[in-house]
């Protein structure tokens, strides 16, 4: 009989170990399922309630180094007792000298087990009062407070609470909850680092992707979407600016890469192109030739494509597009009646291959109310089909959207042609006014200089 009882005890202990290991594995999965800190902690709380606790609270320092404490998540097994957002609020500062379990954990990082006596103790600080107020409102018979920590710092605290008649927490529970807190701390730290990098990327994006000029007689709009939601910037870019002679330019380019270094190289090219274009009045081919030569010697930007154009003509029209193409997908001209034509002229090699490469200009008249679209290859190229198929789809969709507002035109093209976000995409679109003198003829003229 003793052997049977001993075996039953061992089996029960083994079952507890397996259950806890399974829970720890689920914790890792839940914490890795999102980089949103609050959502990750809320999912964690819903996982451990009611398996380990009747209710859970997470208190978290902010991610900016100010050490302001906030009650971030409260989850109760009875949702009516703790509606989402009902108890989340800023908390008082962590006192230097306090017997509060929360203050001890946040200062030292070691877990604390609370029984009835500790839960009934008189608060000695505003933070302890806030903690015990929650215990009183939601009930507490036994609790464990553990740190959300990394090897470098304490990020906050996780408190698990049981109500009568649940058994009180014991040393094994404290060890398990401490492990969960450590895993949650690493996940929070990773998410906060990601958030910091995202904000840096967003700041770079705001500076690297310029505002478009306000030109009375034409409409310009642009869109940029990075390859990965975590990157926010990459090597694709657009630009538009007005030259000293009053001519508006359009630029779209693509530097190899989908990361911050690619964005930095892109910024070098963009700024050099602006300076060279402003320096003297000359055709796009000459400016790009000088850009290629300069970039080869003073920039680390290599292997980039570029489409650079001038929108020429008086405000009343007619207008014409003069451009040069350094290995980039051709511009698309869409007339008001839906005719969509790729402008294949002005072709040349990509930047960074030969600094003295031949560059040509092309010239094409722009009809009234027409749309000129510059884009990067992320709009027309994917793993499932050839770029020719992508170009055909772009022409078809652009034709169907010809009469849409220019902003809707760009939004719809992105939604229809590049929904997956597998590559950077930049769009720059121009809409011509209702010019009475525009020549809609589709002729293309190759030139080496300004006419």
What's the pTM? Answer: 0.62
- pLDDT at position 2: 56
- Residue 276: CB atoms within 10 Å: 18
Residues of the chain with CATH 3.60.40.10: 209-447
Q: Which of 24, 137, 144 is nearest to 76 (CA)?
A: 137
pLDDT digits (tens, 9 = 90+) for 206-253: 666 788 998 877 999 999 887 655 555 667 889 999 999 999 999 999
Distance (Å, rounded) from C-alpha 255 to C-alpha 263?
Answer: 8
Q: What residues form DSSP beta bridges with 320?
A: 312, 365
- pLDDT at position 357: 82
Query: Which residues are CB-neighbours of 38 under 8 A, at least 6 positions away?
Result: 72, 73
- Percent with pLDDT over 90 in the chain: 50
> Do the bridges between strand 248-255 and strand 219-225 make them parallel or antiparallel, or are there none, so unpaired?
unpaired
Distance (Å, rounded) from C-alpha 229 to C-alpha 235?
Answer: 14
CA dihedral of 57, 62, 66, 68, whole degrees rounded to 10:
-30
User: Could you tell me if 426 and 375 are in contact, meaning their C-beta atoms sit under 8 angstroms apart?
Assistant: yes
How far is C-alpha 256 from the chain's CA centre? 19
- Percent with pLDDT over 70 in the chain: 83
- Residue 375: CB atoms within 10 Å: 30
Cα→Cα distances 231→261, 417, 422, 424, Å: 11, 21, 12, 10
- pLDDT at position 82: 83
pLDDT band for position 439 (cuts 50, 70, 90): very low
Q: Which of 49, 164, 121, 41 is nearest to 112 (CA)?
A: 121
252-258 average pLDDT score: 79
376-401 average pLDDT score: 90
282-309 average pLDDT score: 86
Distance (Å, rounded) from C-alpha 37 to C-alpha 60?
Answer: 10
Residues of the chain with CATH 3.30.450.40: 15-199
Specify the DSSP class assigned to residue 411.
H
Q: Give the three-class secondary structure for 220.
A: strand
Class of the domain covering 209-447: alpha beta
> In terms of CATH, what superfamily is 15-199?
GAF domain (3.30.450.40)
User: Could you tell me if 413 and 397 are in contact, meaning their C-beta atoms sit under 8 angstroms apart?
Assistant: yes
Query: Which residues are CB-neighbours of 184 under 8 A, at least 6 positions away?
Result: 27, 31, 40, 41, 44, 148, 158
């Amino acid at each position: 009989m003793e052997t049977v009882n001993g075996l039953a005890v061992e089996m029960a202990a083994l079952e507890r170990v397996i259950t806890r290991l399974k829970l720890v594995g689920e914790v890792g999965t839940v914490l890795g399922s999102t980089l949103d800190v609050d959502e990750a902690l809320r999912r964690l709380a819903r996982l451990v309630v009611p398996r380990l606790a009747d209710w859970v609270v997470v208190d978290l320092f902010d991610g900016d180094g100010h050490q302001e404490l906030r009650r971030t998540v409260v989850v109760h097994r009875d949702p009516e007792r703790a509606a989402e957002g009902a108890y989340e609020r800023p908390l008082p500062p962590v006192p230097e000298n306090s017997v509060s379990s929360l203050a001890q954990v946040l200062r030292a990082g070691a877990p604390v087990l609370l029984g009835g006596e500790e839960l009934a103790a008189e608060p000695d600080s505003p933070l302890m009062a806030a903690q015990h107020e929650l215990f009183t409102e939601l009930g507490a018979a036994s609790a464990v407070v553990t740190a959300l920590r990394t090897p470098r710092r304490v990020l906050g605290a996780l408190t698990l609470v049981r109500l009568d008649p649940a058994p009180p927490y014991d040393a094994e529970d404290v060890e398990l909850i401490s492990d969960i807190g450590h895993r949650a701390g690493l996940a929070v730290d990773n998410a906060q680092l990601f958030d910091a990098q995202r904000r840096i990327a967003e700041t770079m994006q705001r500076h690297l992707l310029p505002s478009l000029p306000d030109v009375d007689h034409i409409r310009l709009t642009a869109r940029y979407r990075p390859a990965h939601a975590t990157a926010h910037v990459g090597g694709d870019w657009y630009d538009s600016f007005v030259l000293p002679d009053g001519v508006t330019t359009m630029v779209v380019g693509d530097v190899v890469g989908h990361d911050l270094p690619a964005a930095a190289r892109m910024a070098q090219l963009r700024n050099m192109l602006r300076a060279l274009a402003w320096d003297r009045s000359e055709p796009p081919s000459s400016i790009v030739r000088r850009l290629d030569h300069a970039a080869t010697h003073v920039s680390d930007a290599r292997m980039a494509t570029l489409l650079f154009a001038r929108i020429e003509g008086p405000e009343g029209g007619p207008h014409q597009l003069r451009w040069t193409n350094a290995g980039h997908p051709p511009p698309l001209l869409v007339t008001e009646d839906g005719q969509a034509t790729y402008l294949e002229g002005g072709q040349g090699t990509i930047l960074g291959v030969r600094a003295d490469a031949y560059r040509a200009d092309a010239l094409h008249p722009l009809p009234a109310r027409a749309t000129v679209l510059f884009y990067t290859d992320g709009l027309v190229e994917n793993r499932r089909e050839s770029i020719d198929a992508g170009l055909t789809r772009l022409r078809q969709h652009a034709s169907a959207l010809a009469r849409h507002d220019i902003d809707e035109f760009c939004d719809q093209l992105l939604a229809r042609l590049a929904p997956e976000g597998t590559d950077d995409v930049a769009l720059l679109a121009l809409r011509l006014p209702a010019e009475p003198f525009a020549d809609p003829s589709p002729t293309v003229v190759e030139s080496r200089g300004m006419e």
